[in-house]
């Protein structure tokens, strides 16, 4: 009897900055056909009490390299490398239906510059990464809400980071770093890396979370085109349930 093996999954990464709801969007994407869905949003009450992000990561996290960190208070911590297959296993553990797509976060909070600099390590037959989804916020009012909420809930070991209208990259080279590329703003950096990735056959797209929060049909269908999936009939209800919970008393539509 032949041994059945899982077909290779098509992998999407979600790229987002501190304070943006990439955890929630991963859960939202997982509800669409082809992804390893879960029934309910996981709310970590202990994290709420600790003043941290209460939404557990609803996709999968892959750590391609071990990284050591130290903050301004001298506190140190380490995030160890994991095997990409662990992300597949975690997807299987969700246990709601089969899947042929996977949404992951590359940790610790690396952005397109890191992913590009480590292209061969991150993009290979095993990972089969076809798309990078970059989160942005185009609405200044909603950006202010997210920033204020982030500052209130920011864990002590995370550095304070000021957002522009769209979040800048962490780790973009400083002009004193010599011949490395320097960008005047997020858009210029995004376009630069998008071009490099797409020359390699990997798609890079932006999703405006503020438009999703405002139930913008065009932005939602743009997301559907990226993930190649059909729409959810109750997608606006799911969005409202999150914004009502996360930003109590604030109306987005």
Domain layout of the chain by residue ranges: 14-246
Spell out the residues 6+ positions from residue 76 whose beta carbon is closer than 8 angstroms to its own: 68, 69, 70
Mean pLDDT calculated for residue range 29-34: 90
pLDDT above 70 (res 223): yes
Q: Which of 43-47, 58-62, 65-69, 190-194 has the lowest mean pLDDT?
A: 43-47
pLDDT (mean) for 125-130: 91
d(CA 119, CA 17): 20
pLDDT value of position 71: 64
Q: How far apart are CA 232 and CA 242, in angstroms?
A: 16
Task: Give per-residue pLDDT as tens, 147-193.
Answer: 776 554 544 444 443 333 233 434 344 344 445 556 777 778 888 89
DSSP helix/strand/coil, 46:
helix
Whether the CB-CB separation of 38 and 58 falls below 8 Å is answered with yes
134 exposed, middle or buried (CB, 10 Å; 0-12, 13-18, 19+)?
buried
**pTM (2 d.p.):** 0.79
**Is the predicted pLDDT of residue 58 greater than 60, yes or no?**
no
**What number of residues does the chain have?**
253
């Amino acid at each position: 009897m032949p041994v059945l093996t899982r077909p290779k999954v098509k992998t999407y990464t979600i790229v987002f900055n501190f304070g943006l709801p990439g955890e929630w969007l991963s859960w939202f994407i997982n509800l669409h056909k082809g992804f390893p869905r879960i029934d309910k949003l996981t709310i970590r009450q202990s994290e709420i009490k600790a003043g941290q992000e209460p939404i557990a990561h609803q996709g999968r996290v892959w750590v391609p390299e071990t990284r050591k960190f130290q903050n301004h208070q001298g506190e140190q911590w380490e995030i160890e490398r994991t095997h990409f297959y662990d992300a597949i296993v975690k997807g299987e553990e969700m246990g709601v239906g089969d899947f042929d797509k996977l949404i992951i976060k590359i940790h610790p909070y690396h952005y397109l510059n890191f992913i590009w600099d480590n292209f061969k390590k991150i993009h290979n037959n095993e990972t089969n990464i076809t798309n990078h989804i970059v989160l942005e916020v185009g609405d200044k009012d909603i950006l202010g809400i997210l920033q204020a909420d982030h500052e209130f809930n920011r864990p002590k070991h995370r550095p304070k980071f000021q957002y522009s209208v769209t979040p800048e990259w962490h780790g973009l080279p400083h002009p004193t770093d010599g011949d490395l590329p320097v960008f005047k703003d997020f858009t210029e950096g995004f376009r630069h890396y998008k071009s490099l990735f797409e020359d390699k056959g990997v798609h890079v797209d932006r999703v405006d979370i503020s438009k999703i929060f405002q139930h913008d049909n065009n932005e939602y269908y743009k997301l559907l085109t990226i993930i190649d999936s059909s729409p959810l009939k109750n997608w606006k209800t799911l969005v409202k349930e999150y914004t009502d919970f996360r930003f109590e008393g604030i109306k987005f539509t």
